[in-house]
Every structure is written in structure tokens, then in C-alpha cells.
Amino acid sequence: MGADMRLDGVKVLVLEDSYLIAELIEDMLLQAGAIVVGTTKSVAMALNVLATQAVDLACLDIDLGDENSFPVADELAFRGIPFVFVTAAAAGLLPQRHSNRILVPKMQMTEELVAACCRLPLPPSCISLP
């Protein structure tokens, strides 16, 4: 992973209902230098992390079983916190208000997740200098 593919010190929220995929996402983010402040499996849990932790960016699955992550996406957008969707869902399922968001297909996530996160507009306090 190149120097431009680092997330050193970036605080990340992960919302994913599959334990194994959540672990994989968390491992990739940690290897890129990120700090995972919460790995959650429901909208309520993710909103609780947002209420209690500083979050610089988020990785959201769309389909969470009996709910979807759009309420969390809405709250992140309201707060100005960048996020990516990491999902097996089709881009056509995104509501218009989130149609411009980065969507990382789960089948390609090992190649694209950190690169997608690095493209987000992170606050200057997250950017580490050599």
C-alpha cells in the first residue's frame, strides 16, 4: 500500500451486519492506519456511535437485514462526515440524495475500499505528514 493509500489517524465508523465482512473491513482499515471507533450492525448502534464518538468517515453496508443504512447516511451527510457504501446492492438502489456517493462493491472491496476512503474529503487534522 503506497503512502497515498494511508488513513493514518482517521476515525472510522463501520456499519455492516455480517460479522465476517465487518471483521474484514475493520482489518483493512486498521492496516491502512485508521482507527475504527465503532463496528456496528444496526442503525441504532451506528447512530449511538455518532452521538458518542468523534467520526471522520464511515463505511456503510446498505442492506442490514430488516433495515437499511440510509438513516445513518442521512445523519452523516447532515454532519458533513464523508462516507462510502460498501455493499452487494446495486447502485440503482441508492436514493437520489445519495446517488453521488462512492459505492464499493463487496466483491471488489479488498482492492477498492482503502482507495475509496482516501478519495474522501477528510478534515486537515486527519492528514498525516511524513
pTM of the model: 0.82
Number of domains comprising the chain: 1
**d(C-alpha 99, C-alpha 76), whole Å:** 15
* C-alpha closest to that of 104 among 112, 96, 95: 112
For residue 39, CA distances in Å to 4, 89, 93, 105 come to: 25, 20, 23, 19
Q: Considering the domain boundaries, does residue 127 fall inside one? A: no
* Owning domain of residue 33: 3-121
pLDDT of residue 111: 63
For residue 73, CA distances in Å to 30, 95, 116, 128 come to: 22, 11, 16, 26
What is residue 9's three-state secondary structure? coil
Give the CATH number for residue 16: 3.40.50.2300
pLDDT of residue 128: 53
Average pLDDT, the chain: 87
Over residues 27-83, the pLDDT tens digits come to 999 999 999 999 999 999 999 999 999 999 999 999 999 999 999 999 999 999 999
Quickly state the pLDDT bin for 11 (edges 50, 70, 90).
Answer: very high
Q: Considering the domain boundaries, does residue 103 fall inside one? A: yes
